[in-house]
Structure 1
Amino acid sequence: MWTLLFDIDGTLIRTRGVGMGAMGQAIVEHYGHTDIPDVRVHGCTDRGIISELFRQLEIDLDADHSGFLQTYCELLHGKLKVHGGDLLPGVVDLLEHLNAHPNVALGLLTGNAQRAAEIKLDHFGLREYFLFGGYGDDHSDRNDVAEEASNAAATFLGDRFDDAKVWVIGDTSNDIRCGRSIGAKVLAVETGGDCKDTLAAKEPDLQLSDLSNVSAWLKTLDS
């Protein structure tokens, strides 16, 4: 059985900056800071983003971190309702096809905290497709998220899990790097955080403009 581990932001959906908007507002409401620094978000985990924001703002990372995360998720839910976002090309058709495939199991490998991932997927009607995952609640390094996702797949699938038949699907060089860390093949899509040349330099197994032209890749999953 093939295990396919999908990133979310920039791979399946775009949220038009809603996530960072919600995180910035949560800092204002929870800690009173109004000057929110710019930090890298593409390919990063929520834990890593929060750690860097807190470092620059001199906030103790353990100062009611769980309460802050709850506030962030509540704001994220509300902002998505107002501002929406976009499903990326080919996503629904691909997930429908893969969901019906007898030799495929779908999971997540995302930098989002688990609750944030659920909120985003629920908003776009995608949550039902994914059976397990690795998340960014506790890990700043995406390689650790990849290990969590691989372990979750092995636990869920049992004897059907084959670590030689894993694909990671993502839009940044960090997705490629973390896929390699667990020995997975990597499909990179040019719909998110890193440009075509940056992705190509990391030598993914396959690189596509988006997920609407995947017929050749799908044939490899029949083996």
Structure 2
Amino acid sequence: LFHRRADIAQGLLTGNIRRGAEFKLTHYRVWHYFEFGAFADDSPRRNDLGPHALRRAGALHRHEFTPARTFIIGDTPHDIECGKVIGARTIAVATGRHPVAELARHAPDAVFPDFADTAALLRVIDD
């Protein structure tokens, strides 16, 4: 969805080490969608990974990436917290083991049951 848009850089922030993340996401044929990332190799604390990802995005695209123009999209309360720590906007999706109501209690900027309604997701991002 986002890889078709020149105005969006798509990165990965994960508690996995880089090699493990690459292995998993290559298996599901999605690794190639991520231009940059921050991994457990960078810090064992997920909340420390945001600045690493922003720095890598900036180096790759040769301009500054600010938290205010960044979205952290995830399916856990930890993902929401990780985004809030750096001042990014957060989008939660209940495709994992955390239901919509639980994710909503952590006050993301938006929460979805899934991403079937891509138009709604894009409205949040483009707003």
Q: Same fold (TM over 0.5)?
A: yes
Shift in Å, 1:160:
5.7
2:101 matched to which residue of 1? Answer: 197
Give the secondary-structure state (helix, strand or coil) at the position aligned to 1:105: coil
Give the secondary-structure state (helix, strand or coil) at the position aligned to 1:159: coil
1:129 matched to which residue of 2? Answer: 33
Tell me if 1:212 matches 2:116: yes
In structure 1, C-alpha distance between the alignment counterparts of 2:17 and 2:69, rounded to whole Å: 26
TM-score normalised to the size of structure 2? Answer: 0.89
| 5+ long unaligned stretches in structure 2 | none
Q: Which amino acid aligns with 2:3?
A: N
CA contact (8 A) 1:104 1:221 kept: no
Give the secondary-structure state (helix, strand or coil) at the position aligned to 2:111: strand
% identical equivalent positions: 39
Task: String of CA shifts for 1:172-212, please: whole Å, max 9, x gaps.
Answer: 11100010011111110111142322211110000001122
What is the correspondence of 1:43-54 to structure 2 with a 5 Å cutoff?
Answer: none
Deviates most, 207-216 or 177-186:
207-216
Q: Which amino acid aligns with 2:65?
A: F
Shift in Å, 1:222:
4.3
Shift in Å, 1:220:
4.4
Task: String of CA shifts for 1:142-199, please: whole Å, max 9, x gaps.
Answer: 1112222222222222226343210001011110001001111111011114232221
Q: Which has the higher contact order (CA 8 A, sep 6+)?
A: 1
1:168 matched to which residue of 2? Answer: 72
CA contact (8 A) 1:103 1:222 kept: no
Larger radius of gyration: 1
CA contact (8 A) 2:57 2:65 kept: yes
1:114 matched to which residue of 2? Answer: 18
Q: Which amino acid aligns with 1:216?
A: A
TM-score normalised to the size of structure 1? Answer: 0.53
Shift in Å, 1:138:
4.5
In structure 2, C-alpha distance between the alignment counterparts of 1:208 and 1:202, rounded to whole Å: 13
- CA distance change for structure 1 residues 113 and 124 in 2, over 3 Å: closer, same or farther? same
Tell me if 1:188 matches 2:92: yes
Q: How many residue pairs are counted as aligned between the two chains?
A: 127
Q: RMSD in angstroms over aligned alpha carbons? A: 1.7
| 5+ long unaligned stretches in structure 1 | 1-96
- CA distance change for structure 1 residues 98 and 208 in 2, over 3 Å: closer, same or farther? same
